[in-house]
Each structure stands twice: as C-alpha cells, then as structure tokens.
Amino acid sequence: MNVISYNYQLKTLQTFKTIVMDNQRRIFEEQRKKRIFNAKQRQIGLDIKTLNQQVYENHLHRTRVAENEGNLAEKAKNYNSMAILINQQRKKEIREQCKDIDVFRLTVQKPEYSRDFDLFDPNQKRQNNLPEFQMMLIVPFLEFKGLAKSRK
C-alpha cells in the first residue's frame, strides 16, 4: 500500500507541474496580447532610416568588393603580361646562345683543325683508294699492246 500511495503522490506532483506551466503560459500569452493590441505601446511598421542606412552600407560594401576585384584582375593581367615577356626574352636568349654555339662550331671547331683529323678522316680513305679501286674495275677490260701480241 505504501508503493501505491507513492505513485499517487508522483502523479499529483506531475499534474501540479503541468498546471503551473499551463498557468505561466496563459499569463505570458495574455501579456503578449496586451502588448500587441494596446495602441499606445505597439509599434508596427518599418524604420525607414535604418533600412536606408543598411542599403547604403550594403552598396558601399559591394562597390568596395568590386573595386578590389578590379584591382586584383588588373594586377593579374600585369603579372601575366610580365610573365609572357620574360618567357619570350628567355627563349630569345636561348636561340641566340644556340646560334653563337653553331657559329663557334662552324668557324673554330672545324674538323681540319683537329690534331686527329688525318686519323679519323673518312673521306681520306675514299679519296686515296678511289684510283686503285677504279683501276681494279678497269684493268680486266684493258688491252695492253705487249700482252696482246704475246698471246697471239
């Protein structure tokens, strides 16, 4: 029986709490209605000065952002053009260096000027052996006067 009475007391405490919360909510709603429907205390409408100030600040912010973006775009454009010019100048310098190297090789590093030219000249053997090779091809077809008489 003690357990049942204990549960009964809990239920009454819970209902008491809900009743108190309902009363507080009702009082709050009545106060809210008095504020809303009382013409002396109520302020319904727009604050034009504040709205105009907000619009002006928003406009200033947008113009600053647009100006900043324009400056950044201009800087990016300048940096891009500078990078292109530097790249073109570097390519031009490389071309000039290659031309100078080619001119040096053609004028100073001729194969005739090397000390091993006579050893490694491939044309020298062709030039020296050319008459002998031609003679080897021509000799069988030549008729020598002395040999032709002795065979007959």
pLDDT for 117: 67
Per residue in 98-125, pLDDT (tens digit) is 999 999 999 888 877 777 766 666 666 6
Q: What is the dihedral of CA 54, 55, 60, 61, to 10 degrees?
A: 70
Listed as own residue / partner, the contacts of 14-21 with beta carbons closer than 8 Å and 24 or more positions apart are none
Residues 79, 90: Cα–Cα separation, whole Å: 16
Query: How confident is the model over 72-108, as pLDDT tens digits?
Result: 999 999 999 999 999 999 999 999 999 999 999 998 8
Residue where the block lists tokens 């009702």: 26
Q: Which tokens in the block code for residue 57?
A: 């600040």
Share of the chain above pLDDT 90, in %: 43
| Total-model pTM | 0.41
As a whole number of angstroms, the distance between CA 132 and CA 126 comes to: 10
3-state SS, residue 58: helix
